[in-house]
Structure 1
């Protein structure tokens, strides 16, 4: 299937993608950003009628096979889940595997414009490298894809564009907004007047939702006298508002979230020092998979500013990337 614009937000926690379906509606998908090395054999096929096959795919990058998809295991022996939390994440084979996994699950074989996002503090460092790496024809194991052009934008701009699209005429280009994208590994913010980004008041730093999960895991380890490392399962439990299961015991995570508040407060303070006062902004737009975990601290830091938690914050960037790509694609076609 050929598509004019395909948007992928390869996050540290989840990989999200968006594109136009044949009917013209926006189709989206999401799966965990975990890519462990694929097993050399599978037992699920031997339990036909009893064991169901998992919804995963094997992606080959540089002769290594990685397993990924919606049903990838969130825990593994000795913590080897295939998670990658590093500042050069976008240059890793894990990132490439997740990107091609999104292409595979969408059933796309030819992309005229691929739109990707980067943390604000990594734009200058990696945007050109991403464009060069993913332009062209690729064979990733289960299929091939041709990518004509790659476009890279700051991640929080995706949320701004998506938020503006839901408001219609009520969104004014004369209004300023602070867009905060709380990701899995980084927290990024963009100060924008309309769609014009103010570089001096925009930024980002390591310190997203994963720092909270790691803090919670550490606190549980102290209470249970055990080394708890399954932060992916802690993430899932919080998102689904369920207890965390440990040795058959349900553990309420709410008290641990409160005890992790100093981690959040430190990140918010650094961001506050960067943006300064916000007397003239219309609102703070809060997005990203960790938005709910940071909302209280951000409200305390900016008590007089309207704070909007965007609908479906985890997928907002991917949907915004798609809109940005479609706008640029249409504009370039008119010029030609």
Structure 2
């Protein structure tokens, strides 16, 4: 299938993608950003359907097979789930496997414009490398894919565009908004007047949802006197508002989340120091899969500014990337005809 614009938000926690469906609506998908090495043998799908086949794909990068997809295992021996948490994650083969996995699950083979995002503090360092690596024709295992052009934008701008899609009057050039994107590994913020980013007041830093999960795991270890490796399951339990099952016990995570508030407050304080007083900001737009963990601390830090938690925060950036890509392609086509 050919598509004019395809958007992928390869996050540290989840990989999200968006494209325009035949009906004209925006189609989205999401799966965990886990890329473990593919097993040499698989038992699922055998036994007269007693063991159901999982929705995963084997992606080949530099002759190494990785397993990615919605049903990739959230747990592994000694915590080796295939998660990569580092500033240079976008240069890793794990990143490439997740990116091609998104393309595979969407059923796309030709992309005129691929739109990707980067944390604000990594834009200058890695945007060129992403454009170079993913422009061209590739054979990643399940099939071949051609990508004509790669566009890279700061991640929070995707949420800004998504939030403004049906409210253009609230996002004029004289209207300031602060967009906060709480990801799995980083927290990024963009101070924007309309769609013009203020570079001096926009930034990001390591300190997203994963540091909260790791802190909670450390607290549980102290209480239970056992190492806690499965932070992916802590993430899942918090998102689903369910207990964390550990050695036969259902552990209520709310008290542990409360004891982690100083960690969250430290990140929010860094943000305050960057953006200053927000006397002329119309709203704070909160996005990202970890947004709910930070909402209370952000409200406390900026009590007089309206806080809007964006709809479907996990896929907001991908949807915004798609809209940005489509607008850019329309301008290029119009310029070519002029």
User: Partners of 1:23 and 1:312 in 2: how far apart?
Assistant: 20
Structure 1 residue ranges without an equivalent (≥5): none
Partner SS for 1:112: strand
- The worse-fitting range, judged by mean Cα deviation, of 228-237 and 164-173 is 164-173
Partner SS for 1:47: coil
What aligned pairs does 1:233-244 form with structure 2 within 5 A after superposition?
233-244=233-244
- Tell me the residue number matched to 2:33: 33
Alignment of 1:272 onto 2:268? no
Shift of 1:49: 2.5
- The CA RMSD measured in Å over matched residues stands at 0.8
Shift of 1:186: 0.3
User: Partners of 2:50 and 2:10 in 1: how far apart?
Assistant: 34
After superposition, the C-alpha distances for 1:27-50 in whole angstroms (9 at most, x for unaligned) are 000000000000000111322221
- Tell me the residue number matched to 1:164: 164
Runs of 4+ in structure 1 deviating by more than 3 angstroms, as ranges, are 168-171
- Tell me the residue number matched to 1:3: 3
User: Partners of 2:278 and 2:48 in 1: how far apart?
Assistant: 60
Q: Is the 8 A contact 2:46 2:52 kept in 1?
A: no
User: Partners of 1:229 and 1:268 in 2: how far apart?
Assistant: 27
Structure 2 residue ranges without an equivalent (≥5): none
After superposition, the C-alpha distances for 1:249-291 in whole angstroms (9 at most, x for unaligned) are 1111100100000110000001100111100110111100000
Q: Is the 8 A contact 2:181 2:187 kept in 1?
A: yes
- Tell me the residue number matched to 1:281: 281
Alignment of 1:20 onto 2:23? no
User: Partners of 2:277 and 2:171 in 1: how far apart?
Assistant: 22
User: Partners of 1:210 and 1:78 in 2: how far apart?
Assistant: 17
Shift of 1:25: 1.0
Alignment of 1:254 onto 2:289? no
User: Partners of 1:300 and 1:219 in 2: how far apart?
Assistant: 25
Q: TM-score, normalised by structure 1?
A: 0.99
Q: TM-score, normalised by structure 2?
A: 0.98
After superposition, the C-alpha distances for 1:304-325 in whole angstroms (9 at most, x for unaligned) are 1111010111110000000000
Shift of 1:23: 1.4
- Tell me the residue number matched to 2:316: 316
Shift of 1:168: 4.0
- Tell me the residue number matched to 1:99: 99
Partner SS for 1:191: strand
Q: How many residues are paired up?
A: 336
Partner SS for 2:34: coil
After superposition, the C-alpha distances for 1:137-176 in whole angstroms (9 at most, x for unaligned) are 0000011100000000000000000000032434333200
